[in-house]
Amino acid sequence: MIDQIRALEDLKCLAGARQAETAVAFDLSQRQEQADAGVPVAGQGAGTAAQIALARRESPAKGSRLLGLAKALTGMPHTFTAFRGGLLNEWRATLIVKETICLTPGDRAGVDEELAADTGALDGAGDKAIIAAVRAAAYRRDPASVAKRAARAVSERCVSLRPAPDTMTYLTALLPVAQGVAAYAALTKEAGTARAAGDDRSRGQVMADTLVERLTGTPGGISGVQIQLVMTDRSLLHADAEPARLPGYGTIPAAWAREIALTGAGDKDLALWVRRLYTAPGSGELVAMDSTARLFPAGLKRFLQVRDNTCRTPYCDAPIRHHDHITSWHHGGPTSADNGQGLCEACNHTKETPGWTAVTTPGPRHTVATTTPTGHTYNSTAPPLPGSPMRQGHAHGKQSGHSQERRLALARATP
Ligand SMILES: [Zn+2]
């Protein structure tokens, strides 16, 4: 059994290496086709990574990293051979490429030669040991690459949000060290001042509260139309346990959703709007709305936001940035919920490249079929709303006597 596990591991590496080779060849063929079709050089290669991502069941961002890895590996023959032979897995090959990405192709080839991963030189080395070996070789060849890496790292500064247990969340900022230290010092100072003045909150609590207050400009942090809670009427009004959905976070327990909705309801600075969203029984699909305008009106945008939740491209979890006409306005596509979809910026861009088409297909829940330049079709079905069945066509447990079920979207905002 152990021999079998090892053999399968080798096979995974070989398959990964074959995927990388094929990705590079596919990129070349797409560029050639685009060149033949008269696409200018700067536009060639568009949509290639997105097609690789769909085929590999990964997000477009991951697809683009995988293609980048594959291309870099062609210039690192020893690393590529080690990957193919199972001496390095896909992740470790990625680490080697990542640590040498700021080098010139010549220096990168030099590092590849020096490490000679295909001779088993990195055998038994873990992720950290591999990173250390690659960095040492890279710095020796190009000491300035440290500075280049720092400049590149600064360009990757960002803020992200991910769920933590017990309805908590991690708000994380990746910052240049001076800014990060300054921000932390400001919070520490505030905590010291508050505690000296008799505040009985802990240091950590004051720092967290101060962070939220300074970022949002409001004590408690609820300002602007920023919370769009989606829950069933049963959960809001009848203490039902059906979880709610908080966009940008995910699923939250019903009791906690009720608390967000109702806390501060008596506060005159905060308004609570309840929008009724009607869904079809069984499929849980939101009931459509129409408009004759070319641009999606605010109500319809909100509708798409609630229905789609994140970008509709399969495996892409990015937030919605564009409200897209599935069949374009120029080709007679109406401005309607049926012909609309939420897409992130990158996916909207990809959809506009030649050879990509999309249509709405009939089904119990809203479905978009996207066809890529190679003729492959991928379906995207709108996610289930709170209280809806996960799988299409499977009716909700208890039959509702009403023809339509209600969902409520709650918005908390300053007037
Ligand atoms: Zn996307």
Most confident residue range from 144-158, 217-231, 297-311, 368-382: 368-382
Residues with CB under 5 A from ligand 1 (ion): 311, 313, 316, 318, 344, 347
- 343 alpha carbon – ligand 1 mean position (Å): 5
83-103 CB burial, b ≥16 within 10 A, e <16: bbebbbbbebbbbbbebbbbb
Same domain, 45 and 144: yes
Instruction: Taking residues 261-282, report their average pLDDT.
Output: 62
* Residue 198 sits in the same domain as residue 297: no
Give kind and range of the element (H or E) at residue 398.
none
Q: Do 307 and 337 meet the contact criterion of CB atoms below 8 Å apart?
A: yes
CB 276 within 8 A of CB 311: no
Query: Which one-letter amino acid corresponds to residue 56?
Result: R
Specify which residues 161 forms β-bridges with.
171
Tell me the pLDDT tens digit for each residue of 381-401: 998 877 776 554 433 333 333
Q: What is the mean pLDDT of the chain?
A: 84
State residue 204's pLDDT score: 94
Q: How far is the CA of 314 from the centre of ligand 1 (A)?
A: 8
Q: How far is the CA of 347 from the centre of ligand 1 (A)?
A: 4
Segment 14-57, tens digit of pLDDT: 999 999 999 999 999 999 999 999 999 998 999 999 999 999 99
Residue 403 has pLDDT above 80, yes or no: no
- Average pLDDT (190-212) is 92
Whether residue 6 sits in one domain with residue 150: yes
Task: Specify whether 112 is located in the same domain as 197.
Answer: no
Task: Give the domain range for residue 73.
Answer: 2-155
* Ligand 1 center–CA 129 separation, angstroms: 35
Instruction: Please indicate, yes or no, if residue 324 is contained in any of the structural domains.
Output: yes
**Cα–ligand 1 centroid distance for 350 (angstroms):** 9
CA distances from 178 to 175, 182, 405 (A): 8, 6, 53
Residue 278 pLDDT greater than 70, yes or no: no
Say yes or no: 106 and 75 in one domain.
Answer: yes
CA distances from 325 to 38, 46, 279, 300, 353 (A): 26, 20, 22, 12, 15
| 147 and 204 share one domain | no
Least confident of 100-114, 238-252, 274-288, 304-318: 274-288
Among 216, 232, 257, the domain-final residue is 216
Query: Which of these three, 103, 120, 155, is where a domain ends?
Result: 155
Residue 118 and residue 11 share a domain: yes
End-to-end CA distance of the chain: 66
- The answer to the question of residue 273 being in a domain is no
Q: Do the beta carbons of residue 20 and residue 73 sit within 8 Å?
A: yes
Name the pLDDT band for 408 (thresholds 50, 70, 90). low
pLDDT band at 257 (very low <50, low <70, confident <90, very high): confident
Residues 306 and 178 reside in one and the same domain = no
* Residue that finishes a domain, picked among 125, 155, 185: 155
Q: Average pLDDT in the 125-140 region? A: 92
- 134 lies in the same domain as 163: no
Instruction: Count the domains in the chain.
Output: 3
pLDDT at 305: 87
- Same structural domain for residues 20 and 113? yes
* 78 token code pair: 């020893």
Q: pLDDT per residue over 314-324, tens digit each?
A: 999 888 999 99
Let me know whether 11 and 148 are in one domain: yes
At CA 343, angle to CA 395 and CA 326, rounded to 5? 75
Confidence (pTM):
0.73
